[in-house]
Chains A and B, each alone.
Chain A
């Protein structure tokens, strides 16, 4: 009989359902097959013209019915698709989930397509005055709902029958991990037996791309798209903007065992620490990321020598990969050179608000399948970053514990520790 309480006396939280969508495909099976064969989902942008753009590649999800319908619709469909897979995976009623919903999703704005269409439906006045006048004559709520930050979660709550007021959150690139953390905490506090945590991001619009581009954050290696994301390489030059979603059904181990559910993994610990240094750069000594990793280990009740594999944030920006290496080598010491550390982003790009959830899903599969997905495009190692990045080819390995890192713009750092088995 497994322990039902963790080292701090809290209910142990199990994962009983996993769902995922990335540019590599829909669902766990397709994604895992692609990921372990080192396939890249990065491709030329076709959703909008690329005239005047320095970056013309991305990991957009172009194969869903909502892919061309704007950020809000696509984010909803990504979230719904991943959640549907996770809930059926868990063997639960997909219309009556019965636990709270935590959704990591991008901040929403009125899409340009709607802005243009509203504006050009009238001739009087100009600029904002015209938009406001046209807006108050609208008879439908469709456009309005795309601008409300709570609408996607509201629709998902209806769709899956989740309980109570859903929480929509953003901690930038750490959002997906935060959504999982909120679910774990709610179960540990005894507020619920199960929670649905989703990270979804379908916001790769032209404006989003341009905004990141203006901050010099994106790779401009347009010629061979699948080679552009190259975490920990010497010639890495930025991240590749991408879309995707990951969903986890979290359950108290006790409730999961009681209903005979298959345990896909254990959420052992979560840790976070905010950075107060700069809006886009991390503190030079790496102390916030170090503190986040250590907090996650402490929360999990594991020592530094008890982590088998690190699913890196590994964005492929010069700054992140350098700082992540610094933080990990500080925490893990000499062992860092021999620990496998790979970046899923080398293949799927940076799915922003979804990344933490997508990568948690892949971390759990890594343990279950005993296969570590590689860091592809590792042709030109950065000599300043000495890591075993599982270069270019998957590796068979027994993995009992994983640390998954998420570090966000705005200084929000969240780390998750997952285990294959209950203690």
Chain B
């Protein structure tokens, strides 16, 4: 134990299961809990939709809400929950010295404008001129700001006054891994005392589905748990809307201000397998080695997406290590892209804090975990590229 250890003092969570650590714990520990699904809005795809959210609770000004689309609101909201949870919100001194690393994709396009342009393109050959004509007249000027990747962080600064430093990492699950890894490295080296880190994904928009489906990654047909999608129609990913932010803090800093500590964030490791050359299995195995796993049964919160190849590789490597009792949470929340790894870390920290594991999310594949989880492993193997994992320990 060292004064520069990284501990988790705030968790903000939103998913189809509800909002906040308590709601998530309660639902995820209910044996046989059934996911919230919507198969009607984007057929043939199923999604896990957002719960009802009163944005006013974390984004007080209507003017701020209007400047954002759902993705940014969701992230800003989850960030507010985490800051509240850590006792930082509204504390000027702590907010202005707080660093931030956000894992982000892009925001929502105006689907109606796009549809008008696409429809007109069927009868016009001067498509570039058509584009200029429609975009100059139909686009809402401020929509651009709602689409920019770095503006989730920008909105968090504006709404919650977090202004120490602000970085936005892009690149699907890998961005979430790097965000947590970099934030932890800053704290361990004494560069930061407290960092807000996380991301959000809003799947209820056809362009967000298109981002997966251009490579045929989405699962079609009846919903199944993450581990059971091999061989089904489509590519295996069922998406969900959600957001997660963590407050990572130097142990000494957290102790000095008398905060509750959920857990310690141990080693976080990341990699880039050249998957086309068949390196994924050995890369995951190598990351497991680097993480210094403790002996004995180890609860493992997996962010497996269901994507056929990546999920099969992860399963093969985890199965080869009989000490790991795996829980793939995306079975119940859907895949939240950039938010996957921070979400896994949050669920791992909750288990450590409550001193209990989660029941199986898929009884046909996952095995029970008995006992008190002093350490929990969190994994994020990207549906297409990039890998990472981290070990969360009792504080």
Contacts and interface: CB of A to CB of B under 8 A. Distances in A.
Contact of A135 (B127, B166, B214): B214
Interface in B52-81: 67
A52 B118 contact: no
A141 to B, nearest CB: 6
Nearest to B140: A214
B215 A138 contact: yes
Nearest to A54: B136
Nearest to B270: A165
B154 A165 contact: no
Contacts of A169: 167-170
Interface in A95-141: 105, 107-110, 112, 115-116, 119-120, 126-132, 135-136, 138, 141
Interface stretch (A80-88, A271-279, A357-365): A271-279
B21 interface: no
B100 A274 contact: yes
B280 interface: no
B177 A165 contact: yes
A52 B170 contact: no
A172 B213 CA distance: 28
A372 B33 CA distance: 67
B109 A276 contact: no
A99 to B, nearest CB: 14
Nearest to A277: B158
A335 interface: no
Nearest to A173: B150
Contacts of A107: 105-106, 147-149, 170
A141 B215 contact: yes
B170 A135 contact: no
Nearest to B141: A214
Nearest to A291: B163
A19 interface: no
Interface stretch (A69-77, A204-212, A312-320, A385-393): A204-212
A158 interface: yes
B272 A149 contact: no
A167 B163 contact: no
A145 to B, nearest CB: 8
Interface string B124-161: 00111101110111010110110111110111011001
Contact of B105 (A112, A120, A149, A408): A149
A191 B181 CA distance: 12
B119 interface: yes
A170 B149 contact: yes
A126 B120 CA distance: 11
A403 interface: no
A279 B145 contact: yes
Given A51-B133, A126-B119, A127-B119, A164 B171 contact: no
A150 interface: yes
B154 A412 contact: yes
B150 A144 contact: no
B359 interface: no
Contacts of A188: 189
Contact of B132 (A53, A108, A276): A53
A150 B168 contact: no
Interface string A364-392: 00000000000000000000000000000
Contacts of A110: 207, 210, 214
Contacts of A144: 214-215
Contact of B158 (A119, A131, A276): A276
B274 interface: yes
Contacts of A332: none
A352 B51 CA distance: 37
A276 B129 contact: no
B356 interface: no
A127 B386 contact: no
A274 B162 contact: yes
A139 to B, nearest CB: 9
Interface residues on B, range: 35 or more
A410 B168 CA distance: 11
A148 B148 CA distance: 15
Contact of B189 (A120, A167, A182, A189): A189
A142 B1 CA distance: 48
A128 B150 contact: no
A210 B132 contact: yes
A408 B128 contact: no
A54 B150 CA distance: 26
Interface string B111-126: 1001100110110001
A275 B163 CA distance: 6
Contacts of B141: 214-215
A96 to B, nearest CB: 14
Contact of A278 (B158, B169, B385): B158
Contacts of B390: none
A109 B150 contact: no
Contact of A150 (B118, B148, B175): B175
B240 interface: no
A408 B186 CA distance: 23
A172 B155 CA distance: 13
A136 B164 contact: no
A157 interface: yes
A178 B387 CA distance: 23
B166 A50 contact: no
B35 interface: no
Contacts of B27: none
A355 to B, nearest CB: 14
A235 interface: no
Contacts of B182: 167, 182
Contacts of B166: 171, 272, 274, 410-412
B271 A272 contact: no
In this complex, the member of A48, A54, A128 whose beta carbon has the largest number of chain B beta carbons within 10 angstroms is A128
B113 to A, nearest CB: 11
Contact of B128 (A141, A154, A206): A206
B210 A170 contact: no
In this complex, the member of B133, B191, B216 whose beta carbon has the largest number of chain A beta carbons within 10 angstroms is B216
A109 B158 contact: no
A379 B136 CA distance: 32
In this complex, the member of B129, B167, B209 whose beta carbon has the largest number of chain A beta carbons within 10 angstroms is B167
Nearest to A295: B165
A412 B216 CA distance: 36
B222 to A, nearest CB: 17
A49 B384 contact: no
Contacts of A135: 210, 213-214, 216
Q: Which 4 residue pairs are nearest across A and B when measured between Cβ atoms?
A: A150-B171, A410-B154, A128-B206, A127-B115
16 contacts: A110-B207, A115-B114, A116-B127, A119-B122, A120-B122, A131-B210, A141-B215, A148-B211, A149-B172, A165-B178, A172-B148, A182-B167, A189-B191, A275-B163, A409-B154, A410-B145
Given A144-B215, A150-B175, A151-B385, 7 more contacts: A53-B136, A127-B111, A128-B210, A167-B178, A182-B167, A274-B165, A279-B155
Interface of B: 67, 100, 104-106, 109, 111, 114-115, 118-119, 121-122, 126-129, 131-133, 135-137, 139, 141-142, 144-145, 147-151, 153-155, 157-158, 161-172, 174-175, 177-178, 182, 185-186, 189, 191, 206-207, 209-211, 213-216, 218, 220, 234, 270-272, 274, 382, 384-388
